[in-house]
Amino acid sequence: MRVALGVSYNGQAYSGWQSQPSGNTVQDHLEAALGRFATQKVATICAGRTDAGVHGLMQVVHFDTGLQRAPFSWVRGTNTFLPPDIAVQWAQPVPDAFHARACAVARRYAYVLLQSPVRPSVEAGRVGWVFHELDGQAMQDAVQHLLGEHDFSSFRASACQAKSPVKTLHRIAITRRGPANGPSLHGCAPCYWRFEFEGNAFLHHMIRNIMGCIVAIGQGLYPPQWMRQVLDARSRDAAAPTFSPDGLYFLGPVYAPEWGLPTRTAAYDWLP
């Protein structure tokens, strides 16, 4: 029997998704909880790995088991053994042909950025932060250069293990929400910026490296067409520094409708 789970987590306390010898990853905690509930070892495969400090709204995993349990029993039973910042949102039996990673036709991420003269406090670790006023139109113009199929070597971490740097970005949406609570100082009006990315796959640190360039352009350090120059350079040295992981969320994979899996959780609407 193959089971799919939707998992959400706050990534601040963990060394990313993928299992490590330290045991302090989201996958390690999830598999330990599943094992305690099932009283047998359970190995999971995820839709997309996230780095240390990155959050997940709907990570999807699958695993095989000989146990027969009602879907909600998997949810409640596993959550009993999980830390409070990781939770199984749903469980669903799936055909053996389903594969959490291989069947995903796209993946979606969001980056939430607080623009404010004062650093985040309540939102610390859950939003990125910039204390300069950002130019929304310049950022919109810049990201148009990234849409479609490209060699994204300029936005690839040196430790990236992907076989090819060629990926396809289907959509980048930028919205401003606010004003956020707080004073307007030095020409910086508090607000939240939300950047959504959808693509067939992403390289290691790709979104955080893109965000570094977007913010630099939004601050007026470079013109929008600089994004094309960075892309064409195919060199990490051409891009801006890697941006903070704090505001990055894995919204989840996209699957064909015939799999019948949930497409989002209520937490999606919570994001600024």
Between CA 28 and CA 22 the distance in angstroms is 9
Which segments are annotated as binding site for substrate? Answer: 109
The yes-or-no answer on residue 269 being catalytic is no
User: Contact, 211 vs 111, CB < 8 A?
Assistant: yes
Helix (H) or strand (E) holding 3: strand 2-9
267 Cβ contact partners less than 8 Å away, ≥ 6 residues apart = 8, 57, 58
Q: Which two tokens stand for residue 51?
A: 């780095």
Between CA 268 and CA 175 the distance in angstroms is 15
Amino acid code (one letter) for 81: F
- Based on its alpha-carbon atoms, the radius of gyration of the chain, rounded to whole angstroms, reads 19
User: Contact, 53 vs 72, CB < 8 A?
Assistant: no
Amino acid code (one letter) for 157: A
Which segments are annotated as binding site? Answer: 109
Provide the 8-state DSSP code for 240: P
Helix residue ranges, H only, 136-270 = 136-143, 206-218, 226-233, 267-270
Q: Which one of 51, 96, 141, 269 is the catalytic residue?
A: 51
User: Contact, 34 vs 44, CB < 8 A?
Assistant: yes
* Residues in a beta bridge with 176: 193
119 Cβ contact partners less than 8 Å away, ≥ 6 residues apart = 129, 131
User: Contact, 180 vs 170, CB < 8 A?
Assistant: no
Residues serving a catalytic function are 51
